[in-house]
Structure 1
Amino acid sequence: MAFSKYTRRNKIRLRIRKALVGTAERPRLSVYRSNKEIYAQIIDDTTGKTITAASSRDKGFSSEENKAEIAKLVGKAIAEKAKEAGVEAVAFDRGGYLYHGRVKQLAEGAREGGLKF
């Protein structure tokens, strides 16, 4: 029996999260991608708190650019906010999505913004 797309992604997500834990020194950069938007959070799993977040729904992102370009800008925005919060290095949690397309663009934007993976 084939799994649905949602079930398959969830299984992959849980497998990734089993090995990936965000600490205070190296929090987790979590990515969620919907059909229209992309969201990123930096999370400290030891306290269960979100340190900072950015998304394509924030002000300053025009809908005239394509979704991959917007994802790169979100990556740069999350890196900027992380620097302000004192975060230098993160563990990248792709959330069960393939490291391709918008997820990859977000990661590259965060690296260009100065985050270390």
Structure 2
Amino acid sequence: MSSFAPKIVKGSTAVARRRRHLRVRKRVTGTTLRPRLVVTRSARHLVVQVVDDTVGKTLASASTMEGDIRGLSGDKTARARRVGELVANRAKQAGVSAVVFDRGGNKYHGRVAALAEGAREGGLEF
């Protein structure tokens, strides 16, 4: 291998994600009127919570680990859209109609974008 080859830093993707997360969290906070829609993504699953940061309380949540979503056929993107619709319905039942979207350092692409579209279709404003 040449000494002029670019160095590949292990974990550089994780470092970039962490930087994005800090940049997003600096600007995004949830209030009582507009709680924060928090997205946590792993390789297999998505967890979504609607959080009121003023009192530190979760108002609604949904996940791909729930039984009715686990049984769905289709890819992870289709399941993410269904989770978005589900969290929107639960948030509306809790009296929330508008949220602030916190993508958690993830790029707005793929499953995260599908989740956001599903939540919008479910009636959440953001």
* Equivalent in the alignment of 1:58: 66
Q: Report the Cα distance in structure 1 between the residues aligned to 2:122 and 2:77, rounded to whole angstroms.
A: 16
Q: Which runs of 5+ in 1 are unaligned?
A: none
The structural deviation recorded for 1:7 is: 2.0
Q: Percentage identity across aligned positions? A: 49
Kindly provide the CA deviation profile for residues 3-32 of structure 1, in whole angstroms up to 9, marking residues without a partner as x.
622222111111101111100000000001
2:26 aligned with 1:4: no
Q: Which runs of 5+ in 2 are unaligned?
A: 1-6
Within-5 A mapping of 1:13-92 = 13-61=21-69, 62=71, 64-92=73-101
Q: What letter is aligned with 1:39?
A: V
In the superposition, the TM-score normalised over structure 1's length comes to 0.95
Give the superposed CA RMSD: 1.3
Q: Report the Cα distance in structure 2 between the residues aligned to 1:89 and 1:19, rounded to whole angstroms.
A: 17
2:108 aligned with 1:99: yes
Q: Report the Cα distance in structure 2 between the residues aligned to 1:64 and 1:109, rounded to whole angstroms.
A: 17
Kindly provide the CA deviation profile for residues 36-72 of structure 1, in whole angstroms up to 9, marking residues without a partner as x.
0111000011111111110000121125310000000
Q: Report the Cα distance in structure 2 between the residues aligned to 1:54 and 1:10, rounded to whole angstroms.
A: 23
Deviates more, 1:72-81 or 1:52-61: 52-61
Report the 3-state secondary structure (helix = DSSP H, G, I; strand = E; otherwise coil) of the residue aligned with 2:114: helix
Higher-Rg structure is: 2
2:125 aligned with 1:112: no
Report the 3-state secondary structure (helix = DSSP H, G, I; strand = E; otherwise coil) of the residue aligned with 1:14: helix
Report the 3-state secondary structure (helix = DSSP H, G, I; strand = E; otherwise coil) of the residue aligned with 2:67: coil
